Structure 1
Amino acid sequence: MVWLVARFGWFVTYAALVEGVVLLVFMGYVRYDTFYDVNKWNYTRQHGHSTPDLQTFYPILQEVQVMVVLGFGFMMTFLRRYSHSGLTLNLLLTALTLQLAIITRGFFTTDRGFINLNILSMVDASFTCGAVLVSVGAALGKTSPTQLLLMSVLEVPVYHLNSHLGHHLLAAVDHGGSIFIHTFGAYFGVAFSRCVTRKVVHHHHHPNNTSSYTSNLFSMLGTLLLWVYWPSFNGVVESGRSQGRAVLNTYLALSGSTMGALITSSLTHKLYLQYPMMVPAANTSFQQDLDDLAPGEGRTAGQQALYQALATFITLLLAVVFGGAVGFLLTFAPFDPLTQPRLYTDAPWWELPEDGEEEELIKEEVSNGGVRRIFNIQVGERGGGRGGGARLPSLRDGE
């Protein structure tokens, strides 16, 4: 282990170790769902299968991936000297979390000791990516890639534990993921960030802890991508009329106001469709008029509200406790914590133009007042300008 760290560094050592373990678990315990398994094809042709329809879910899954990879990715470019790292770490952690989520979710849904792999596995894994990336936003620029990699490894199991408690034990309803994805991810990230930076010198006024016009522009691009595809995120696991309501209500909430969307939803839809446990438990004539809904527990509105609040409280508790614990753990030397000079900058991870060269280009941009210079600074240029133009950033390991 020491030799590996000395030879390749902390990040490569941990990343290779994690990926190796994931590979072994996939080889030993992950299986295609029956419809995709060639050995079971004759059986599924004769007896049918329960595999979700690929054509139904794949188009929306692609849109969710646009949100995760591009939406969150560009949104992570808000720091003026950390844009390349933010974008790259977003892709790295998405790739890792997708694999970890399939394994962890399979722990709660094993079939005869194996983890079934189908299109809904990828959908659920994408939701897990959303929670992890929300957490990353709270620690961006203040943590090393090694710390974020290990944070993801430790956060994913807690996310699925909380989701299982809320969905299956409390029967809390959270179609858009406001509790189990966004609230969990945000508070896990805040607690993690507070604890993981406790040894770093006070940095609230760090010169690099700020944005620029260009970084804000790219971050806004990420926000727009999230805006456009959010209805798909909320409606991907629904079907039929439920999916239509999820998509339409999300558009209303985005383009109007949250209150207007909630009022519209309350006026046009039955409360039982949103909260199945409020359906009467007994087979009464009243229950028979509820469009063949399955009997519930007969919860009152107040009882359901209490369960919703309890699910939120458990989410906050698990997020803060485990987020803080993971942050505390990853401040020790073997996990490659950042020091003050490495905060909020791409420099340790990328080859960038010299500061003087960059400043000259920016001064020329301001003096000329031209949009062309902004474009050249971002993409580089051949010749022209001082020093032959801006040099394209590249990974330190190679061009």
Structure 2
Amino acid sequence: MVLSMNSKKMKFFPLMLFQLVLVVLFFVFVRYHDASHYQKNPEQIQPGTFEGTHVMIFIGFGFLMTFLKKYSYSALGFNWLLAALTIQWALLCQNFFTMENNTIYVTKKSLLEADIMSATVLITFGAILGLASGLQLLVIAVIEIVIASLNLWLVTGVFKAADVGGSIAIHTFGAYFGLAASWALRFKKTEDSSNTPTVDLNGPSYTSDVTAMIGSIFLWIYWPSFNSGLTQTPAEYEMATVNTYLSLAAATVTTFFVSSAVNHGKLDMVHIQNSTLAGGVAVGSVCNMHINPGGAVLIGVAAGLLSVMGYKFLTPKLEKCGVPDTCGVNNLHGMPGLLSGVLTILLAALATKEGYGTELSSIFSAMTEDEAGRASSSQALYQLAAVGSTVGLALVGGGVSGLVARTSMFEPLKQNEKYDDELNWELP
């Protein structure tokens, strides 16, 4: 009995152990730049985008996942924990590819990049919300950041693909990593009636749906900050902000119409909480390109329609196929992210120096004016490679991480422990 109690008290010990490993790694590898660096290289991120993205990560994603009737503590708490942990881990993993003299120099820009990378884990968390234990979430998050950082290096460093808002490397990757992990974590049927929940907790209450709307609204308001944060010129920043806002607005109007149309005249709160945001994902990779304001609105319309139809018809089919998707991340992040990736292929193929002027090389970094610069057709193929590598690495990595996390040492949940805060929290 004493051993059992001690075991429960120390169940998050691996978490603290990993934090201590991070302490050592930061002491060994991470430094500040000296003052002369900042005089020669002023900060390269747009004002306010770090703060806006930070709000999205900790408030937006957290509250969006509070819709389950008895899992709000875990949705908010584990979101906070995973973000705080993975931002540290991502800061290391992303910069291991570009170290200077075995040193990582931390800046506000690198913090923003780590913040954005943590979103991949939080998207994956949405797919397995209520289905994974705390230790399982930890191991999945640690593995995911490593693979996601590798994929980001391939997308931006090797393929030199345009993906300023992260719809390919962040949203698409996080969604399909999460779906693959969900498939690998799926529960075996058991004849033990004691493990069968007496009440289905995989659903909302009136109050939990209202709190989830807080997350939706915060995400909606700050999404232009997320998409525009890593733009390189004032013109790009302005286009990214305007295009993201217009796409979000169009997706919202479309969501309300389509939700009512497929639900006999009534609105479904799941659609309103999520599909209204799909425009921000769908325009993310192309928000700094010359898509025209009308194009941004059209992308939002397409994203809203695609997302609502996914929630209505595709999510139930995935569930029947053994791929639970608690938050429907395929509909908010996966399919709109793929749409954005396809649009980058088309727009890269059409990009010309005459159309973009001097900003062509800042948007498509490999399309320079010298002889080594890529042609538009070649850039389009590299955009396709970026989408392909993202989906492939996400599916393989998510499946492997789910299989690893499913082992007994990471305390998989029993059937009657799913979607329930009682296992991990002192409840009032």
- CA separation in 2, counterparts of 1:299 and 1:13? 53
Distance 1:315 1:205, change over 3 A: farther
Matched to 1:27, the amino acid is F
Q: Does 1:228 align with 2:221?
A: yes
SS of residue in 1 equivalent to 2:43: coil
Go from structure 1 to structure 2 and tell me whether the alpha carbon gap of 1:63 and 1:348 turns closer, same or farther (over 3 Å shift).
same
Change in 2 beyond 3 A, CA 1:289/1:200: same
- The 8 Å contact of residues 184 and 399 in structure 2, kept in 1 or not, is answered as yes
Residue 213 of structure 1 and its aligned partner are, at CA, apart by 1.2
Letter in structure 2 aligned against 1:173 = A
Which SS does the other structure have where 2:105 is aligned?
A: strand
| Post-superposition offset of 1:205 | 11
Once residues 6 and 100 of structure 2 are traced to their aligned partners in structure 1, the CA distance between those partners, rounded to angstroms, is 42
Amino acid aligned to 1:231: P
Question: After superposition, what is the alpha-carbon deviation per residue over 1:30-84, rounded to whole angstroms, capped at 9, x for unaligned?
Answer: 101223xxxxxxx559xx443526xx64622111111110000001101111011
Gaps of 5+ in 1: 36-42, 281-285, 353-392, 394-399
Q: How does 1:95-244 map to 2 (within 5 A)?
A: 95-199=84-188, 201=190, 207-238=200-231, 239-244=233-238
Which of 77, 86, 91 in structure 1 is aligned with 2:80? 91
Q: Distance in 2 between matches of 1:288 and 1:76?
A: 40
Alignment partner of 1:175: what SS? coil
Report the equivalent of 1:249: 243
**Do residues 326 (structure 1) and 396 (structure 2) align?**
no
Q: Which amino acid aligns with 2:22?
A: V
Structure 1 pair 44–227 and aligned structure 2 pair: CA distance change class (3 A): closer
Residue in 2 that maps onto 1:64: 53
Unaligned runs of 5+ in 2: 252-278, 296-343, 362-367
Residue 52 of structure 1 is matched in structure 2 by 43
Q: 1:279 to 1:31 in 2, by over 3 A?
A: farther
RCO comparison, higher one (Cα < 8 Å, 6+): 2
Q: TM-score normalized by structure 2?
A: 0.70
Query: 1:311/1:289 Cα in 2 relative to 1: closer, same or farther (>3 Å)?
Result: closer
CA–CA distance in structure 1, aligned partners of residues 161 and 388 of structure 2: 12
Q: Determine which structure has more spread, i.e. the larger CA radius of gyration.
A: 1
SS of equivalent residue, structure 2 residue 383: helix
Q: Give the alignment's Cα RMSD to 1 decimal.
A: 3.3
The answer to whether the 8 A contact 2:348-2:376 is kept is: no
Match of 2:419 among 344, 357, 371: 344
Range moving further from structure 2, 16-25 or 307-316: 307-316
- 2:34 — aligned with what? 34
Q: Amino acid of the residue matched to residue 157 of structure 1?
A: V
Which residue in the other structure is 2:376 paired with? 300
Q: 1:70 to 1:267 in 2, by over 3 A?
A: closer
Q: 1:241 to 1:4 in 2, by over 3 A?
A: farther
Superposition TM-score, scaled by structure 1 size:
0.75
Runs of 4+ in 1 over 6 A off after TM superposition: 202-206, 259-264, 286-289
The Cα offsets for residues 84-114 of structure 1, whole Å up to 9 and x where unpaired, read as 1111000000100110011111201101111
Aligned length: 332
CA distance in structure 1 between the partners assigned to 2:166 and 2:198 by the alignment: 34
Identity of aligned residues (%): 33
Residues 58 and 266 of structure 1, relative CA distance in 2, 3 Å threshold: closer
